[in-house]
Structure 1
């Protein structure tokens, strides 16, 4: 099997135990009772982009959430620099790669739980598809063979319904692999990361606009990257049935037009939506897709957003994690983050 480095990670956590996390983007994590909790992070190209800073911040937040719960954390890392950063946070490290099953077996050995947000599609890795398919299958195999108590998978909302969006469907395949191997997993199916989407065209506060591809007034489910760590850490010990899939989002679906209004209000700035018509984005996907699969993937995702079916059922989320954030609260927090980073 190829040993090409993967761009995402996995983490394990457990009460007063150690956990493991393989490298991925944004991050995976493992949790184990009486064992080591490993947190893995991957740096990608090394460019200090806002996108990269948010992913690094999310990994740090997850580690902090686990440590605050009394977990011992172990991180599966691919690069020495990643190991150095983790060591500075009372985290043990293990070198590994999602495409190297043997390294995952060694990293998960003795772990009680695993948290993974591994995903190749978020970076520029030419092996993204292999990472998101073979890599996730390797994680499932390693979890099965090492006997983890709980595997927390970061999934994607409606990923089981839309094979035309590859990075959505790959999460469905990851769930299938875990289920097929009888791994006691739970899947947290997240809505669209608002902080990533609104910055695709630059800082929306500085630019006074948000770029969008499709229908600007169709409601859909969003989440903030900053909220992910808390959900993942809480899922380690939550009272859940193996195989549960839980949608995560805000207390109501929100259109990008409403997001722009709320974000502008929070930042005291008028922010407009510059929407590319659906026909244009579909044509672009058809023309460029054969040469740039990620573009076709992205345009297919926005076409699915236009359907109005990308909406979370938050009943179980509320039962397990408490009341979801409101769009008003989330956009206010996002505005604060963007203003601080200017």
Structure 2
């Protein structure tokens, strides 16, 4: 099957591309920068330079494509707004896929997007879901809510480096999932008729709060976390201030997601129907405990090796210094 993966350089998109290649699909990746996407070419993917915000560039990208997997989203540092990328860009992509006769369209949304109309990214995802459903394309909508990979930079590394771990006053549990597992669902959807023209939650086995994750990291690393609490009122003030400047609108829209965290309502869902429809065994899904345990085991082993090498180098330096000084004469 000839696939077009959109957003293939991102945390999730690269796993989708990797999984598709491993399963023998022909993979074309729509990228804005060929240089940043060089690793995808090394994996065996075809690269085509295009931009969601330039509809005419999508036509050659979709030539002979059987299915599209859309994992793209705007980033806080992008010069383009959430509206430009996640709404206008996605509308252009869906329309181009229609015109190209694409047989399957897999779209990544967000869990519970319909419950937060005042959060720009959530509302745009909801509207995109509706637009896709009415497009006539044979679609599948996947709704994750958080990636295990993001926890490394948010919790694990600061704890190892004795830096502050920032948490909000409110604690909303989130059912994180490994992006490799999410990619598995995306590729499986291509061959599972039960997933056609439906939407599914794609979440972990349980929802974890910030303090639960911190305690787990402390236990696995043997180090104590330095916790700094960020009041929600302060985050809201920063968001309001950011709206005064056009260059920071994207940041302000991203900060609006803090309203989801402020509810304290867990981001989770039952996965029973999802596992049945996709024919995937729940036991194959990586849990947060296993993921972090594997990370800390590898990183602590590496730190011990580096410490040993450093000690050996220090001993050699001291020995050479002793000979030069005539200590052993």
TM-score between the two structures when normalised by the length of structure 1? 0.76
Q: Distance in 2 between matches of 1:304 and 1:188?
A: 19
Contact (CA 8 Å) 1:159, 1:172: kept in 2 or not? yes
Q: Distance in 2 between matches of 1:111 and 1:306?
A: 42
SS in 1 for 2:268: coil
The equivalent residue for 2:212 is 258
The equivalent residue for 1:211 is 166
Pick the structure with greater CA Rg: 2
Contact (CA 8 Å) 1:195, 1:334: kept in 2 or not? no
The equivalent residue for 1:303 is 259
Q: CA deviation at 1:318?
A: 2.9
The equivalent residue for 2:249 is 293
- Which of 262, 265, 269 is the aligned partner of 1:312? 269
Contact (CA 8 Å) 1:193, 1:224: kept in 2 or not? yes
Within-5 A mapping of 1:65-104: 65-82=19-36, 84-104=38-58
Q: CA deviation at 1:136?
A: 0.5
- Which of 37, 59, 71 is the aligned partner of 1:105? 59
SS in 2 for 1:151: strand
Contact (CA 8 Å) 1:208, 1:270: kept in 2 or not? no
Q: CA deviation at 1:140?
A: 0.8
Q: Distance in 1 between matches of 2:43 and 2:86?
A: 28
Q: Distance in 1 between matches of 2:62 and 2:300?
A: 40
Q: CA deviation at 1:61?
A: 3.2
Structure 1 residue ranges without an equivalent (≥5): 1-16, 28-40, 42-54
Within-5 A mapping of 1:136-285: 136-196=90-150, 199-200=153-154, 203-204=157-158, 205-207=160-162, 209-216=164-171, 218-285=172-239
Q: CA deviation at 1:111?
A: 1.4
* Number of equivalences: 295
Contact (CA 8 Å) 1:220, 1:305: kept in 2 or not? no
235 and 257 in structure 1: CA distance in 2 versus 1, 3 angstrom threshold: same
The equivalent residue for 2:89 is 135
Quick check: 1:326 aligned with 2:310? no
TM-score between the two structures when normalised by the length of structure 2? 0.79
1:93-137 superposed Cα distances (whole Å, 9 cap, x missing partner): 222111222221221122111111111135423344301111110
Q: Which runs of 4+ in 1 moved over 6 A?
A: none
Structure 2 residue ranges without an equivalent (≥5): 304-329
Q: Distance in 2 between matches of 1:192 and 1:111?
A: 29
SS in 1 for 2:46: strand
Task: Tell me which protein shows more helix as a share of its residues.
Answer: 2
Q: Distance in 2 between matches of 1:131 and 1:245?
A: 22
1:145-181 superposed Cα distances (whole Å, 9 cap, x missing partner): 1222211111111112212211122211221221121
